């Protein structure tokens, strides 16, 4: 069964896209384009889930992505 994950995407000062999957602690990847980032982050998620399965750890989504808010201080 396919699982869906939210990806938070940022762009650094060099223009590189960085993606983080909040539901999978430490699951991060990058790419020079959005397409490359999405390919790389999908691979990172697949590897993450494979390691969990090999370690026989149970997997449950602890978080649900709601959105992003901006504040001014």
The model's pLDDT over 14-72, given as tens digits with 9 standing for 90+, comes to: 999 999 998 888 999 999 999 999 999 999 999 999 988 877 666 666 677 788 888 89
| Model pTM above 0.85 | no
Q: Are 40 and 27 in contact (CB under 8 A)?
A: no
Q: How far is CA 39 from the centre of its chain?
A: 11
Q: Are 56 and 32 in contact (CB under 8 A)?
A: no
Sorted by sequence, the CB contacts under 8 Å of residue 73 that are 6+ apart come out as none
Token pair 């808010």 is at which residue? 69
């Amino acid at each position: 069964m396919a699982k869906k994950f939210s990806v938070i995407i940022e762009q650094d000062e060099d223009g590189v896209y960085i993606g983080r999957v909040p539901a999978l602690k430490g699951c991060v990847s990058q790419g020079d384009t959005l397409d490359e980032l999405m390919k790389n982050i999908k691979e990172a998620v697949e590897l993450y889930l494979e390691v969990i399965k090999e370690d026989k750890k149970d997997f449950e989504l602890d978080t649900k992505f709601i959105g992003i808010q901006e504040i001014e201080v």
